[in-house]
Amino acid sequence: MALIVALPIGTPPQTQKMVLDTGSQLSWIQCRKKAPKKPPPSASFDTSLSSSFSVLPCNHPLCKTRIPDFTLPTSCDQNRLCHYSYFYADGTLAEGNLVREKFTFSRSKSTPPLILGCATDTSEEKGILGMNLGRFSFASQSKISKFSYCVPTRRTQPGVSPTGSFYLGENPISHGFQYVNLLVFPQHRTMPNMDPSAYTLPMQGIRIGAKKLPIPVHIFRPDAGGSGQTMIDSGSEFTYLVDEAYNKVREEVVRLVGPRLKKGYVYCEVADMCFGGNPIEIGRLIGDMTFEFEKGVEITVDKHRILANVGGGIHCLGIGQSNMLGVASNIIGNFHQQNLWVEFDLANRRVGFEDYRTAVSLQSFCMYFIIGLQLVLSDTGSRSWNGAHGRERL
C-alpha cells in the first residue's frame, strides 16, 4: 500500500506519479531522453521537452564533498554530471543524475528549480516525493509552511484505487486538529540509530481496548545511540515497533485471541500476529488499538479495521518488528493513518491529527481532494515500504 500523488513538473508541466514519503529526503522522478526509434514509457519525464530542466555538474557542492545529509557520497559520472544511487530496504535500486527542475501548478504558481533525482535505472514504476525535515526534501526546498493529507480506507474492489486528500499549504479545516510537538534534534548530530530528519513524535504508550500495555515511556524515546525513536511515516505501510513494545502487544493479542493465531505464519518476515479466520470476529475480540502521545493526543484504530488483508484469506494486525527491518525505531505507518487527517506544521514543528468523521461535519472529508492522493494496493504483497530508513541510502 502506497500513497500516490500526481504532480505537474517542468515547463510546460508533465504529470508525474510519485510516492508521498514523509520518511525520506530527496525526491526523484523517472527520466528519459528522446528516443526516436522506440517510444519510451509515457510515465517517464521527458527532459528534452522542459525549458526549465538542468543537470548538476560535478563541480556542484553536492558532488565535491561528503555532506552529512546523505549516508553515501554522490559521484562524478563519465559525462561529468553528479550521480546518485538509492538502495532500498527491500533490495530495489534507483540511480541517475541530480538535476534541477520546478513544479508548475499553474501559470502563476510554481516552485523555484529544486534539486531532484533524475532516475534512469530503477526497478520502480513511480518516483518519490521526499517530505521529511531534511534540507533537500521537497517540503524544505519549496519553503512551504505546512502540508496535510487524509488517507482513505483500503478497498478491495478490482481496478479501483481509493482517493484521499493532499494539501500543500493551509488546510481550511485545520483549526479543529489536535497537535503534538515534535521532538527535534540537531541535523548535524550523529547517532548510529537516529534519523534527525524524521518527524519524531513523543509517544507515551499503547492501549488495546481499555487496557494500557505495560510499556515504559522510554521505549518510545531515542536513547544515547538513537534507538527507540518514534516517527510517523507515510512511506511505510505497516507500523513497526522495537522488540520491547512489540512483545507486549503480542502478549496481549495472544491473551485475547491466541488460539486463533495462524501457527508458523510470518508475513514478510516481520509480522507474526496473523489469522486465517473471520477478521470481523477477531477484530471484535481484540478491540480498538490506541497510540497515545503527549498532551492527550491519540490515534485510535477501530476494531473493525485493525486487521490488514495480506491476501490468501490471511489478515494480520498491521504491526511488524522493526528489528526485522534492520532498524531500531518505532514507525507509525500509513495503515494506522487511515481515515485520519495528518498535518505537518513545519513552521511550528508540530504534527496535527483529526478523525475524518469530525471533518465530515465541517464539509470536508477524506474523499474530497485538492491534489489527488491515491491509496495503491501493491499486488506483490512482499514489499514493505520503509521510508524512514530504507530509503535514506543516497
Catalogue the active-site residues: 21, 233
Take residue 367 and report the three cell numbers written for it. 474523499
Contact status, residue 340 vs residue 353, Cβ threshold 8 Å: yes
d(CA 148, CA 352): 9
**Angle formed at CA 286 by CA 378 and CA 341, multiple of 5 degrees:** 50
Q: What does the CA dihedral 93, 97, 102, 104 come to, rounded to 10 degrees?
A: -50
Question: Which positions ≥6 away from 382 have C-beta within 8 Å?
Answer: 90, 268
Q: Strands, E, within 47-156: which ranges?
A: 54-55, 75-76, 82-87, 93-101, 114-122, 127-130, 146-151
- Report the C-alpha gap between 221 and 230 in whole angstroms: 7
Per-residue CA distances from 82 to 55, 56, 64 (Å): 8, 6, 9
Q: How far is CA 200 from the centre of its chain?
A: 13
Cis peptide before 12 (omega within 30 of 0): yes
Biggest CA–CA distance in the chain, Å, is: 65
Rounded-to-integer distance, Cα 18 and Cα 85, Å: 18
